[in-house]
Each structure stands twice: as C-alpha cells, then as structure tokens.
Amino acid sequence: MIKPGVPAPNLAPLMGSDNLRERGGVTYREIKARSLLNRCDSPRMPFTWTVNPYRGCAMGCKYCYAAYTHEFLGLDVPEQFHSLVYVKTGAEEETTRRLGAIVRRGELIALGTATDPYQPAETEARVTRRFLETVARHHDARLGIVTKGAIILRDLDVLETIHRRSRLWVRVSLISPHADLVRRLDPWAPPPAVRIDVMRRLHEAGIDAGLGLAPILPALTDDEPSIDRLLGEVAAAGVKKMFMNVLFLRSPTKEKYLRWLAAEHPRYLEAYERAYAGRVYLHGRYPDRLKEMVRRLKRKHGFLEEEADDRSPAAVPEQLGLWP
C-alpha cells in the first residue's frame, strides 16, 4: 500500500538528497540499489528479469506509462517523473553475482522497462554501460533493450560483443515521422531522423535492431499516411523488424496525458474520455483495424514477421510499467 507523498519504507533510506547533476530542468540524485536485476514473475511477460538503471526519465513523454513508479518514492506529481531522476548506485557486485545463474538458466532480461536506459546523465553515470559490460562477459545471455536515446551508439562496441556471444534485441521507440509532433510528445528525446539513424547504425553493426511503434496515439499518430511514411523511412534504413502497441492509459498517466491533450488538442478530449472511460486498454474494432493496417504496411515495406523468439523484452512495452 503506497501512502501518497510518503516513500515506501524499503526505499526511503536508500534515496540520496544531494543533487548529482542539474541540467535542462532535470535534477539527478542517487538511489542505492542492491541489484539492478529485478525478477518479474508474470506469465504474461516474455522476460524473467527487468533492469532499470534509473528511476524517472528525462525524455518527458506525455504518454509515459511508467510515471506511476515515482509514487513508490513518495513523488505523486506525475511530471516529477521527468524532472527528478534517481541514478541507481552500489548494485554492481550483486548484479554481477546474480547474472551468471540467470544466463545459465537462459532467462530473458529486459533493459529499459520503466525508464529509458539512455538518460542524458548516462554520459557520466555509465550505469547502463557497466551493466552491458557485465553481460558482455557472458556467452548465451538473452537481452532486449528498448530506448529512444542516441547515447546507445556510444556503447556500440559492447553491444557488438554481446551480439556475437549472446542473443540481443534492440528496439528504438518512435511513434511518428513528424518532427514537430514528436517534439511536443517526446520533448527531450532525439528527433525522428536521429532515432532512425540510430536504428540504421545498430543494424549496420549486425545487431538485431527494430522499431518500437508504441504507443500509437488515437487521432494523433494513427493515420495511415504517417505510419506508412514512418515504416518506409525505417525500412529505407535497412531495418525490417518492429512491434506496435496502441496507447494504454492508467492513472496517473491518464490524468497527465488528458491535461496535455486538453491544452494542445482540445477537440479530441471528449472522444478520449469516452473511449478510455473505465478502461485502460482499447478493445474492439479500433485496435483491430490498426493492427490490420500496420500488418499491411509491414508487408508493403518488407518488414519481417517477428519470430516467437523476437517477442523480445521489447515486444510488450504497454505492460512494462507494472514493474517498477
């Protein structure tokens, strides 16, 4: 049971109060962690372990599904998820110790389920980098990464090593080819052209790179010409893997997203309120039509059907927020 405004008792003593870095309206603080590896026992998830090197995310996405995880820290204003980011420290020894057994058991690890592992602070903090270096010492690990961050290219060397020795998926999230719209939706994430170039460079390095078309936002990013263009640009970069999901909305993201919608696109507010009244996911003809449209566009642009194994940690991001 979370008490509003009060950190969970197991987390309160671990939260630092000194600012490690303040830049671009984002404050970074330390939070001690025993291990970066958190077990996920849900049978609905294709992975067994999640790794989130940060708590909070500076990308600032208006639809961010993970905002609620800050409530465990006593931070219940959803915007704080983007302005106060905690950097996990002290977890290396236990993470290294656990990883061997996880790899031996062939269990999937998902990196970046409740934050983006390539925060701006990662350039200095290198928490994600050190985790990848630990994975790279193993053979036959199974690791999926979801990110919007171009800083991932810094780690190309270690990703190539993991790719050679293990099974690695990387999916780069991008929901529209339109830079203006993306800047309003994901204000601190790289623009579409940069993210497509990230996919290209990962692919050229031989890594299983793909597009994360998630979440598709009703009325804003769901039109066929836009998705057609996006898939065309990604395919032109040589990338032929992708997954998609339609927006799911739960508190506190729902209130935050609807506030933004009311300010930016008020004409859609009522339809959203009706569609998401009493539900988190949309069901029925609308998502079915979208899935069919994306299937058709994937065929048009030569995308591959994801194999069972490709339902990597990246493939079900709409539910990932269940794991802080």
Q: Residues 65, 81: contact at Cβ < 8 Å?
A: no
Closest CA to 147 of 183, 111, 107: 111
Q: Is 59 in the site for ligand SF4 (CB under 6 A)?
A: yes
Residue from 30, 71, 116, 208 touching ligand SF4 (CB under 6 A): that is 116
Residue from 37, 61, 84, 135 touching ligand SF4 (CB under 6 A): that is 61
Q: Taking CB under 6 A as the rule, which mask of x and - marks residues 193-222 in contact with ligand SF4?
A: ------------------------------
Region of 37-45, 55-63, 87-95, 233-241 interacting with ligand SF4 (CB under 6 A): 55-63
Total residues binding ligand SF4 (CB under 6 A): 9
Region of 60-68, 128-136, 157-165, 217-225 interacting with ligand SF4 (CB under 6 A): 60-68
Q: How far is the CB of 57 from ligand SF4 (least distance, A)?
A: 3
How far apart are alpha carbons 65 and 61 in whole angstroms? Answer: 9
Q: Is 182 in the site for ligand SF4 (CB under 6 A)?
A: no
How far apart are alpha carbons 277 and 273 in whole angstroms? Answer: 6
Q: Residues 287, 218: contact at Cβ < 8 Å?
A: no
Residue the block writes with tokens 């899935």: 291
Region of 53-61, 122-130, 162-170, 308-316 interacting with ligand SF4 (CB under 6 A): 53-61
Residues between 65 and 84 with contacts to ligand SF4, criterion CB under 6 A: 66
Region of 3-11, 28-36, 52-60, 85-93 interacting with ligand SF4 (CB under 6 A): 52-60
Q: Residues 110, 54: contact at Cβ < 8 Å?
A: no
Give the nearer residue to ligand SF4 in terms of CB position, either 59 or 242.
59
Q: How many helices, marked H, and strands, marked E, lie in the chain? A: 11, 11
Q: How far is the CB of 79 from ligand SF4 (least distance, A)?
A: 11
Q: Residues 123, 153: contact at Cβ < 8 Å?
A: no
Region of 26-34, 58-66, 164-172, 272-280 interacting with ligand SF4 (CB under 6 A): 58-66
Listed in sequence order, the residues at least 6 apart from 307 whose beta carbon sits closer than 8 Å to its beta carbon are none
Q: How far is the CB of 83 from ligand SF4 (least distance, A)?
A: 11
Residue from 95, 115, 128, 221 touching ligand SF4 (CB under 6 A): that is 115
How far apart are alpha carbons 158 and 133 in whole angstroms? Answer: 6
Give the nearer residue to ligand SF4 in terms of CB position, either 301 or 313.
313
- φ/ψ of 210, rounded to 5, equals -155, 175
How far apart are alpha carbons 109 and 154 in whole angstroms? Answer: 21
- Can you list the alpha helix ranges (DSSP code H) found in 55-154? 80-83, 92-104, 122-125, 127-136
Q: Residues 166, 132: contact at Cβ < 8 Å?
A: no
Residues between 147 and 166 with contacts to ligand SF4, criterion CB under 6 A: 148
Listed in sequence order, the residues at least 6 apart from 1 whose beta carbon sits closer than 8 Å to its beta carbon are none
Region of 17-25, 59-67, 151-159, 232-240 interacting with ligand SF4 (CB under 6 A): 59-67
Q: Which residues bind ligand SF4 (CB under 6 A)?
A: 57, 59-61, 64, 66, 115-116, 148
